[in-house]
Structures are given as structure tokens and as C-alpha cells.
Amino acid sequence: MRRTEVSRRTKETSINIVLDLDGSGKVQAGTGLPFLDHMLEAMVRHGRFDLECTAAGDLEVDSHHTVEDVGLVLGEAIKKTIGEGRGIKRFAHAIVPMDEALATVALDCSGRGFLVFQGGLSHPALGSIERDSFEHFFQSLCGKAGLNAHILFHGRNDHHQMEAVFKAFGIALGEAVTIVPGRDDVPSTKGLF
């Protein structure tokens, strides 16, 4: 079973995440940011893994520290559950439409974190989350998890665009970490990530 629990406590936030890559899409999210909870739920349900996420942050300042630290802790949990990557599929992609919006995510669980994030939101914030925090969330997650992700999106409605992104990311992640029957090697020509 690929299940782990990771916590992070700073002067700005207190985050606890329980991640099970072999779950069924169950999520309990309580970050203090309803829009982030909604996005995590979309990601997890469509990725078919399980997540419990609780966060307390300095939301009286703004949402930045909470969003960033949830990304960091989730990334660390992903890295721990993947381990050396033995037997995983490694590469995956997903294209998700949501009304007029379309998101594409291509993912490589390579051990090397890198993010390409292309798209634009038209409003300063979604819920109480500043629009630049979404890219920062994925940068934090990918950096800690060692994921190479290309996230491309467009549309007119910001909510639809971000929801399509989170769904596509979840689907790609769920597929990339799938254990390939009969495979027990590290899927790399180098022999390790």
C-alpha cells in the first residue's frame, strides 16, 4: 500500500496531509480556503487516489502561504509514496474540457521537478486566492515531488479553467503512478530517478 502522512509547521501555517495513491477518490479537505478545497476535491476524485488535507494558515494576511505550503506538503507526500519509482508507469497526460475551457497536462514522474504553466486568468482572484498563487501551488508541488509537468489551459471563465487544470492534473498523476503489472524496475534508462 502506497500511503503516507506528512506534516509541516511554520510560523505561517500548519499543514497535515495523508495521501494514499492506491485509493478510490476519497477526499477530505479543510484548508480554510473553500476554493482550494474544491480544486483538491476535483483533482483527487478524478485521479482516483485518496487525500486528507487539513491546513491552518495566516489567512488574515492573504492566501499565499497556505496555498504554497499545501502544495509543498502534497508534493512531499507524492515523493514519499512514489519512492524510487519502481514499477510505475511514469509518463501520463490528460486533456479535460469544461464548457468553453480546456486544460492539458503532460506529466513525467522523473524525480526532477520542473513546471511549464501556460494560460491566463482574467480576474485578480478566485474565491480568496490570488490568481498567481495557482501557478505557485503547482510549482511548489512539482518541485517537492520531483514531477516534470506541462500545464496548458485556455478559456473565458476562470473557474472553469482552473477546475479543468486540477482535474487534468489529477488524472495524469493517477495514471503516471499506476503500477504496471509485471514491472518491478525503475522506469529510467539511468536505473534511478
pLDDT tens digit sequence for 41-76: 999 999 999 999 999 999 999 999 999 999 999 999
DSSP state of 180: P
- DSSP result, 10-59: -SSEEEEEEEETTS-S-EEEE-S-HHHHHHHHHHHHHHT-EEEEEEEE-T
Predicted model pTM: 0.95
Query: What pLDDT, on a 0 to 100 scale, did the predictor assign at position 186?
Result: 76
Predicted local confidence at residue 185, as pLDDT: 79
Closest CA to 180 of 90, 110, 87: 87
Q: Residue 148 corresponds to which amino acid?
A: N
3-state SS, residue 141: helix
Domains in the chain, please, with CATH? 3-176 (3.30.230.40)
Percent of the chain surpassing pLDDT 70: 97
Quote the CA–CA distance of 35 and 190 in Å, as a whole number.
Answer: 40
**Cβ-based neighbours of 191, under 8 Å, separated by 6 or more:** none
Q: What integer best gives the mean pLDDT of the chain?
A: 95
Per-residue confidence band for 9, with pLDDT thresholds at 50, 70 and 90? very high
Residue range 137-181, pLDDT digits in tens: 999 999 999 999 999 999 999 999 999 999 999 999 999 999 999
Task: Output the CA–CA distances (angstroms, integers) from residue 40 to 85, 181, 188, in the order listed.
Answer: 24, 28, 30
> Residue holding cell 488524472?
171
In the block, cell 504554497 appears at: 68
